Amino acid sequence: MPHARVTLDPAFTVAPVRRRTFGTFVEHLGRCVYTGIHDPGHPTADEDGFRGDVIEHVRELGISTVRYPGGNFVSGYRWEDGIGPVEERPARLDLAWHSTEPNTVGVDEFMRWCAKADVEPMMAVNLGTRGVQEALDLLEYCNVEGGTAWSDLRRKNGAADPYGIRMWCLGNEMDGPWQIGHKTAAEYGRVAAETARAMRMVDPGLELVACGSSSSAMPTFGEWERTVLTEAYEHVDLISAHAYYFEKDGDLASFLASALNMDAFIDDVVATADAVRAVNRSTKRIGISFDEWNVWYQDAAPSVPPKDSWPVAPPLLEDHYNLADAVVVGNLLISLLRHSDRVLSASLAQLVNVIAPIMTEPGGRIWKQTTYHPFALTSRYAVGEVLRVELATPSHQTATYGDTPLVDAVATHDAETGAVAAFLVNRSTSESVTVELDLRAFGGAEVVEALTMAGDDPYARSTVEDDTSLAPRPVTATRDGDVVRLELPPVSWSVLRLATGDRAGA
């Protein structure tokens, strides 16, 4: 059996664990909003029509932030359509997803949902068909206490206190030709800088995200970031990155190594941002908002309804995830954590029904996809500081990435409690790997819990009838002095929890 070794030391840290790493995304797309978070006829629905069972799952997932309302949807969205009496709101054509938007849920409903779910909103503004003034109007509606036309209208609509939204996305994927109002990098950089400058005149404390590339495979990648940041560097705080992965042509080994692409993507964006910083002689550093990431089988089903149909909330992009997909999601979280020095926020796309960890039946049952579990457990146990681990691992050949490490890992350490959590994946499609964790720097450690998500069939899926069989199971981790050993089955994700310091042996 192959062996790997992970060495941990509390002195070698990357950055604090960012709670915003565990954000997600709600877009007016398919059934994410309607029959997803909002389903007035459901037995658990509250007075606002929000499903209580979905809110319970969101809390269990450990969601920190929710990006809203898009996504491609936002580039044609008129936010004013979604405020005021519901019966007076206009229905509109949504060109992004070829659907009809009834505007039953809008800004005020979403903010009430955020309060119920105890999550931080991350609001996106339309810089596709709209611009600076409309962004200022939305900011005034949301964040000004009162005494102005838009803030007083919010109060009239039932929200006496301002929402105080801190994070704002300046458009979405404006590099993409599919985007309504698609722009060149120079065009977008200029409008992003103008919008950011104006929004800060209202509230200097906002955290603003400029659009980066919608994929590292875009022909403009790199040059897009350089041009946009040349225009907007001093006016924004973060630049976005988007990436989706799926198994291609039956190449499971390459798919399991998808985090290598995310690692390189992040490193390239950091390098580009820092190059602009050097040219500008700036003292600030731009962070990354990885505000769309997931497994998404983009060729598996039609992404929009037929052209002669404009339905309300059609079932779109409802990928059905398997065990291998969950292992990849767990590995992508490892990548995000180890880049916590520059990745300051991230959003799993999306939350409910649409390429999502949570699935619902309209008016009916709710169930957890396989991808639910690594996200929930990483969010729960990644606390304190991210450690810079030293990893020695065997490798194997993959068609896409060449010589590829079999094992990937990251760890976190909470100095206050002594808790250590190690998150590990085995990318081998056929072999188990024994991992040794060297904990001598901690002066002793006790195993609290070891959980592994694995199975005989990497393509096994959870269902509405059975969403527990593929959940992570307790496994045995043994301690020999300062070394803890754990066997990682092929195609697996694991979390190992340890007590160190004064808590060890307690």
pLDDT tens sequence across 24-53: 999 999 999 999 999 999 999 999 999 999
**172 and 303 share a domain?**
yes
Considering the domain architecture, whether residues 402 and 376 belong to the same structural domain is answered as no
Q: Residues 449, 340: one domain?
A: no
Distance linking the first and last C-alpha atoms of the chain: 34
pLDDT at 307: 84
3-state helix/strand/coil string of 144-161: CCCCCHHHHHHHHCCCCC
Same domain, 221 and 260: yes
Q: Are residues 429 and 315 in the same domain?
A: no
Measured distance CA(125)–CA(71) in Å, rounded: 10
Q: Which of 331, 348, 381 is the last residue of a domain?
A: 381
Shared domain check, 439 and 359:
no
Active-site annotation holds for 292: yes
Distances (CA, A) of 394 to 40, 135, 237, 367, 462: 53, 51, 39, 37, 31
Q: Of these residues, 27, 194, 292, 385, which one is catalytic? A: 292
Query: In this prediction, what percent of the chain has a pLDDT beyond 70?
Result: 99
Whether residue 143 is found in the same domain as residue 36: yes
pLDDT tens digits, residue range 323-355? Answer: 999 999 999 999 999 999 999 999 999 999 999
Cβ–Cβ contacts within 10 Å for residue 478, how many?
11
Q: For residue 412, what is the domain's CATH number?
A: 2.60.40.1180
**Domain membership of residue 427 as a residue range:** 3-10+386-503
Q: Which residue has the tokens 């990435």?
A: 401
Which listed residue (173, 194, 231, 385) is catalytic?
173
Residues 265, 309: one domain? yes
- Is the pLDDT assigned to residue 302 strictly greater than 70? no
Is there a single domain that holds both residue 455 and residue 372?
no
Query: Other C-beta atoms within 10 Å of 200: how many?
Result: 15
Pick from 353, 381, 409: which residue ends a domain? 381
Q: How many domains does the chain have?
A: 2
**DSSP per residue, 326-346:** HHHHHHHHHHHHHTTTTEEEE
pLDDT at 504: 57
Asked if residue 401 and residue 358 are part of one domain, the reply reads: no
Q: Which of 366, 381, 396 finishes a domain?
A: 381
Quick one: which H or E segment has residue 252? helix 252-256
Written as one string, the DSSP assignment of 27-49 is: -SSTTSTBTTTB-TTSTTB-TTS
Q: In CATH, what number is assigned to the domain containing residue 359?
A: 3.20.20.80
Closest CA to 236 of 272, 273, 184: 273
Report the run of H or E that residue 6 belongs to, with start and end. strand 3-7
**What confidence tier does 304 reach under pLDDT thresholds 50, 70, 90?**
confident
Beta strands 65-68 and 23-25, pairing class: parallel
Confidence of residue 356 (pLDDT cuts 50, 70, 90): very high
Q: Which of the four pLDDT bands, split at 50, 70 and 90, describes residue 207?
A: very high
